[in-house]
């Protein structure tokens, strides 16, 4: 299999290069529950064997997704990161879109997010089977299908369509997942990134630049979507209060916020007021970040990391962080508890449950 890429990075190697100290070739790596940090080159970090590949029916390996990510996302996106990090914030709309796609994909392609997508999908399927079994016991007759309401959020009035899952089909899907556990996320995250990028590109962008001696760190989950409400549950990227942070390299971090964050002010704006034209190339603000600010940003990055944090230099506080237990973020996977009796496909009326799972990709 010479020439076939088998080691796939889930955090781009060229991106990690930006956190190296000048003249250095190795990063300091801190792992959760690891007794001591170690140093290695970015080439050896944040990658897995055949992470994006799968085996075709004829036994050959399909690695086209790895190639697609490289050609469509990383190759055009890394130069834009380097441009902003170097102090050139006059991005064209095309460059802005390219970087938004890279940030969006980076957010959802990491193992933490893929594992959640895959496990959540399996749990959904098993939940459908459980619902059928429960209804079978209640009605005293076999129930072999369930209708799932698809809606943008947990409001039955917003259900846009119904999808029917039949028992035999679910068993077939579970068998496929046993044979290819990463299939769901692999077939989902690229399209999901396209959707998220359309939101990111329209947000207000600000670059924080280190003004002292401290340097920014990154991790195996470098994109932080700060969307948690008071209960700690994510509200999602569409929420006007959501903030996205992404360290560009060791000295620059990009933060994205929604425009018109004061929702009430937007609502009160006179309808007769002329609309403000969008600038041809939206301005990217720049702010200095002293050592205290960099320290705060680094703490957020470390707390958001899954298993690994990467730094251009040794930082003693990260050794303490490495011994702390992982705090799994709360996920919104809400089951609508509204039910109704319906009859479809000529079958007897049966009780079906409207379901909708809201996933906060953070």
Task: Assign 199 to helix, strand or coil.
Answer: helix
Per-residue pLDDT of the chain (362 residues; tens, 9 = 90+): 456 778 899 999 999 999 999 999 999 999 998 889 999 999 999 999 999 999 888 988 999 999 999 999 999 999 999 999 999 999 999 999 999 999 999 999 999 999 999 998 999 899 999 988 988 898 888 888 888 877 665 556 667 778 888 999 999 999 999 999 999 999 999 999 999 999 999 999 999 999 999 999 999 999 999 855 544 455 578 778 889 999 999 999 999 999 864 544 444 554 455 554 555 678 899 999 999 999 999 999 999 999 999 999 999 999 999 998 876 665 544 333 333 333 333 333 333 344 433 333 33
Cβ atoms within 10 Å of 265's Cβ, excluding its own: 9
- CA 160 to chain centroid, in Å, comes to 24
The conformation of residue 228, written as its DSSP 8-state character, comes to B
The three-point CA angle 337-342-343 to 5° equals: 150
Instruction: Compute the distance between CA of residue 125 and CA of residue 178 in angstroms, rounded to an integer.
Output: 13
- CA 217 to chain centroid, in Å, comes to 19
Task: Assign 296 to helix, strand or coil.
Answer: helix
The conformation of residue 43, written as its DSSP 8-state character, comes to G
Inter-residue contact 118 to 316 (CB < 8 Å): no
Structure tokens at 346: 């000529």
- Whole-number pLDDT of residue 156: 65
* Beta-bridge partner residues of 352: 340
Task: Assign 333 to helix, strand or coil.
Answer: coil
Angle between helical axes of 93-108 and 111-139 (0-180°, round to 10): 60
């Amino acid at each position: 299999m010479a020439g076939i890429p088998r080691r796939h990075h889930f955090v781009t190697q060229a991106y990690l290069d930006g956190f190296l100290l000048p003249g250095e070739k190795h990063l300091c790596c801190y792992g959760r529950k690891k007794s001591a940090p170690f140093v290695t080159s970015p080439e050896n970090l944040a990658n897995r064997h055949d992470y994006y590949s799968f085996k075709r029916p004829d036994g050959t390996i399909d690695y086209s997704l790895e190639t697609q990510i490289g050609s469509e996302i990383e190759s055009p996106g890394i130069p834009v990161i380097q441009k902003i990090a170097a102090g050139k914030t006059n991005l064209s709309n095309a460059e802005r879109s390219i970087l938004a796609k890279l940030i969006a994909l980076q957010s959802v392609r990491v193992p933490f997010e893929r594992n959640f997508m895959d496990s959540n999908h399996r749990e959904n399927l098993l939940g459908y089977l459980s619902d059928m079994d429960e209804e079978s016991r209640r009605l005293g007759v076999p129930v072999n299908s369930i209708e799932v309401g698809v809606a943008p959020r947990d409001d039955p009035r917003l259900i846009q369509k119904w999808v029917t899952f039949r028992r035999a089909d679910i068993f077939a899907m579970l068998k496929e997942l046993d044979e290819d556990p990463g299939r769901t996320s692999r077939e989902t995250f690229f399209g999901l990134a396209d959707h998220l990028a359309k939101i990111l590109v329209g947000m207000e962008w600000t670059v924080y630049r280190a003004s002292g001696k401290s340097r920014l760190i990154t991790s195996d989950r470098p994109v932080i979507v700060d969307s948690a409400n008071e209960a700690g549950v994510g509200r999602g990227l569409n929420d006007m209060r959501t903030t996205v942070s992404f360290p560009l390299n060791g000295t620059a971090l990009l933060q994205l916020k929604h425009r018109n964050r004061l929702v009430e002010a937007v609502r009160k704006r006179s309808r007769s007021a002329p609309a403000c034209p969008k600038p041809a190339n939206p301005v990217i603000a720049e702010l200095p970040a002293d050592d205290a600010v960099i320290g705060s940003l680094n703490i957020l990055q470390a707390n958001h990391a899954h298993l690994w944090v990467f730094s251009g230099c040794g930082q003693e506080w990260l050794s303490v962080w490495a011994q702390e237990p992982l705090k799994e973020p709360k996920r919104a996977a809400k089951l609508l508890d509204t039910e109704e009796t319906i009859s479809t496909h000529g079958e007897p009326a049966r009780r079906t449950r409207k379901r909708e799972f809201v996933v906060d990709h953070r």
